[in-house]
């Protein structure tokens, strides 16, 4: 078992390069199974546990995987031998549900274990199922797995009841090879949704409107391999922006798309931080005391739920009261129980956290209760007095590549230790 040990009190300074987006990569890898001929060469894939897990699932389905380097994979899905994704790995991660849409599109049949993922609330897949059924699939859930089959898939108009990243991408995958046109309404507009659509179009799909409220997909007869590079990770970038502000540092975050970070930049500016945007970088500095602000998470282009937890750490140690309202997940304040062990003044009422900034946090032994909560606790350790030890860091490794190395390069005192 490993833990991260952070000795607080540093000021982060320097440059940090952002990796490819986790939530784009974990959809693009399953989407590669749609190529019935040719290989997909995918670059800028983050070197994280969720990606390693997907590589193993792809292999178990019969895909050829050639790891060109730590961030580049060649996937040959031309000879898939199985439509059965029922392993412990599938159960462990969320994005494995993209194999349902992908296998359904290409083979008209799939059996995929129900997905796991971060314990941040009930995570239904009813909107995915609604979309598959509208395209003509029969969907059953038995023995903990989703089974889908269809004689053929036919384009349909589908209006999602909730804005869902997963359902938008999954039904988009299923519709790429359907007969006729599919129109998806009330879709998610996150940058990773657009990235997956761009990837599918590079494979020969005909998808228009990704990034708006309506996506139109004209079914094509087959998709082929392509070369593609994953977009930079909006959430990893946001995490470093917040860490920079929290330590009153001077950090330039490179390989980012500043437009994707606007809601985070706007909140940091409202708090008093200085944000300078370049073409593909953002510099965060602080020259005066920061003040509390209110945060309400929302689908893109709103404030991302995945940044709410790191942001609440920063808010716990600035002057004044902040109110953080989580509208996407019903259970995404668990990290605040850990933060209280470090001296934070927080009251959680349902989905709302009321935070009164304190003068100081003090190091403690805390848990990474989920992925983003783990990154949040690293930031807490950086701004606390003394030593913080973070347990259950396998959550962090699922989504942040080489987190301790990156923080160390910015001047943090952070190490990974092994404990029995
Ligand atoms: C994706 O999860 C991300 N995960 C999450 O990031 C992120 O928090 C979330 O989108 C929102 O941005 C991946 O991309 C792998 P949703 P997803 O479907 O797709 C409800 C991280 O830290 N809903 O957009 O599972 C649902 O309950 C992770 O990287 C239904 O009601 O989220 C939630 O309230 C954590 N029925 C809301 O929609 C459905 O069928 C948004 O969920 C689907 C979702």
Q: Which residues does the annotation mark as catalytic?
A: 118
**Pure H helices in 160-211:** 165-175, 191-202
Secondary structure of residue 262 in the 3-state scheme: helix
CA 371 to ligand 1: nearest atom: 22
Which atom in ligand 1 lies closest to the alpha carbon of residue 329? 34
Atom of ligand 1 nearest to the CA of 370: 22
What structural domains does the chain harbor? 2-19+233-418 (3.65.10.10), 22-229 (3.65.10.10)
Counting Cα atoms < 13 Å in the Cβ hemisphere of 352 gives 6
pLDDT at 357: 97
Nearest to 31 by CA among 117, 123, 97, 114: 97
CA of 264 to the centre of ligand 1 (A): 19
Which pLDDT value is given to residue 118?
72
| pLDDT tens over the chain, length 420 residues | 999 999 999 999 999 999 999 999 999 999 999 999 999 999 999 999 999 999 999 999 999 999 999 999 999 999 998 999 888 888 888 899 999 999 999 999 999 998 877 777 778 899 999 999 999 999 999 888 999 999 999 999 999 999 999 999 999 999 999 999 999 999 999 999 999 999 999 999 999 999 999 999 999 999 999 999 999 999 999 999 999 999 999 999 999 999 999 999 999 999 999 999 999 999 999 999 999 999 999 999 999 999 999 999 999 999 999 999 999 999 999 999 999 999 999 999 999 999 999 999 999 999 999 999 999 999 999 999 999 999 999 999 999 999 999 999 999 999 999 998
330 lines ligand 1 (CB under 6 A): no
Structure tokens at 184: 């998806």
Known binding residue 309? Answer is no
- Dmax (CA) of the chain: 64
Q: Measuring CA to CA, which residue among 58, 88, 94 is closest to residue 76?
A: 58
23 CB within 6 A, ligand 1 = yes
Using a pLDDT cut of 70, give the percent of the chain over it: 100
Q: How far is the CA of 345 from the centre of ligand 1 (A)?
A: 29
User: Which pLDDT does position 42 carry in this prediction?
Assistant: 98
Task: Output the CA 192–ligand 1 centroid distance in Å.
Answer: 12
* Interaxial angle between packed helices 98-107 and 22-31, expressed in degrees from 0 to 180 and rounded to the nearest 10: 20
The span from the CA of 27 to the CA of 167, in Å, is 11
Angle of helix 165-175 relative to helix 22-31, nearest 10 degrees, comes to 20
Q: What is the pLDDT of residue 111?
A: 95
């Amino acid at each position: 078992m490993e833990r991260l040990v952070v000795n607080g009190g540093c000021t982060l300074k320097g440059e940090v390069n952002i990796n490819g987006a986790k939530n784009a990569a974990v959809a693009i890898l399953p989407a590669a199974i749609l190529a019935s001929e040719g290989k997909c060469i995918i670059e800028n894939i983050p070197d994280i546990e969720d990606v390693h897990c997907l590589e193993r699932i792809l292999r178990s389905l019969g895909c050829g995987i050639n790891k060109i380097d730590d961030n580049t994979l060649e996937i040959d899905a031309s000879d898939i031998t199985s439509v059965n994704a029922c392993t412990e790995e599938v159960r462990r991660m969320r994005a494995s549900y993209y194999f349902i849409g992908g296998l359904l599109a290409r083979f008209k049949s799939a059996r995929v274990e129900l997905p796991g993922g971060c314990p941040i609330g009930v995570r239904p897949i009813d909107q995915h199922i609604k979309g598959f059924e509208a395209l003509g699939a029969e969907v059953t859930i038995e023995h903990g797995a989703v089974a889908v089959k269809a004689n053929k898939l036919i384009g349909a108009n589908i209006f999602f009841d909730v804005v869902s990243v997963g359902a938008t991408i999954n039904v988009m995958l299923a519709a790429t090879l359907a007969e006729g046109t599919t129109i998806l309404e009330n879709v998610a507009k996150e940058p990773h949704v657009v990235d997956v659509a761009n990837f599918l179009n590079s494979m020969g799909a005909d998808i228009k409107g990704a990034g708006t409220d309506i996506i139109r997909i004209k079914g094509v007869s087959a998709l082929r391999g392509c070369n593609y590079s994953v977009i930079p990770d909006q959430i990893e970038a946001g995490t470093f922006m917040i860490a920079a502000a929290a330590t009153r540092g001077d950090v330039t975050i490179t390989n980012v798309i500043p437009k994707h970070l606007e809601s985070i930049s706007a909140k940091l500016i409202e708090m008093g931080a200085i944000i300078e945007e370049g073409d593909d970088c953002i510099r965060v500095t602080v020259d005066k005391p920061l003040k509390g602000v209110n945060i309400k998470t929302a689908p893109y282009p709103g404030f991302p739920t995945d940044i709410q937890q790191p942001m609440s750490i920063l808010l716990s140690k600035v002057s004044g009261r902040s109110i953080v309202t989580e509208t996407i997940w019903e259970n995404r304040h668990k990290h605040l129980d850990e933060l209280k062990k470090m001296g934070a003044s927080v009251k959680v009422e349902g989905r709302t956290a009321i935070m009164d900034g304190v003068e100081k946090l003090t190091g403690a032994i805390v848990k990474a209760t989920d992925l983003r909560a783990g990154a949040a606790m690293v930031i807490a350790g950086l701004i606390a007095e003394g030593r913080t030890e973070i347990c259950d860091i396998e959550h962090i490794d699922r989504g942040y590549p080489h987190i301790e190395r990156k923080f160390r390069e910015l001047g943090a005192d952070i190490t990974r230790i092994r404990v029995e």
